[in-house]
Amino acid sequence: MKKGNVIITVSGNPGLPTILATDACIHDGFVGLRELSEDVLPEYLYFQLVSQHARHGSQSVGAVFKNLTTDQISEFQIPLPPLAAQREIVAEIEAEQRLVEGNRQLIERMEQKIAATLARIWGEVNQQG
């Protein structure tokens, strides 16, 4: 599979997609979606598959290990708006992800400040007591 190809897990955590960051060989626990139509952006397909992951995982079969079949994957319904709309959707989701990540970092910094303040306060109380 080539960098930028979309792959989907078919076992373990069935239906979970990713976009390859590098060329890679995949094993039978994955299905690779290559040679996509020019009418679909890989990033758009990825976000659609992520949004449907829980439903796809619930369709998996097996007693010990849950698996999706290639027949099940070929039946996935993916809405396909024009490329311009796909680009807008991807850009909006990526902007929201950056905002969420920025908020995560802010929360971490604030938690560290709170912990440092509490440590200072408790240190002062312990020194007086």
pLDDT in tens, 73-108: 888 889 999 999 999 999 999 999 999 999 999 999
**Percentage of the chain surpassing pLDDT 90?**
59
**Percentage of the chain surpassing pLDDT 70?**
88
More confident residue, 106 or 68: 106
Long-range contacts of 32-38 (CB under 8 A, 24+ apart): 32/1, 32/5, 32/6, 32/7, 33/5, 33/6, 33/7, 33/8, 34/1, 34/2, 34/5, 36/6
Question: What pLDDT shows up at residue 127?
Answer: 65
Q: pLDDT category, 57, cuts 50, 70, 90?
A: low
Q: pTM of the predicted model, to two decimals?
A: 0.74
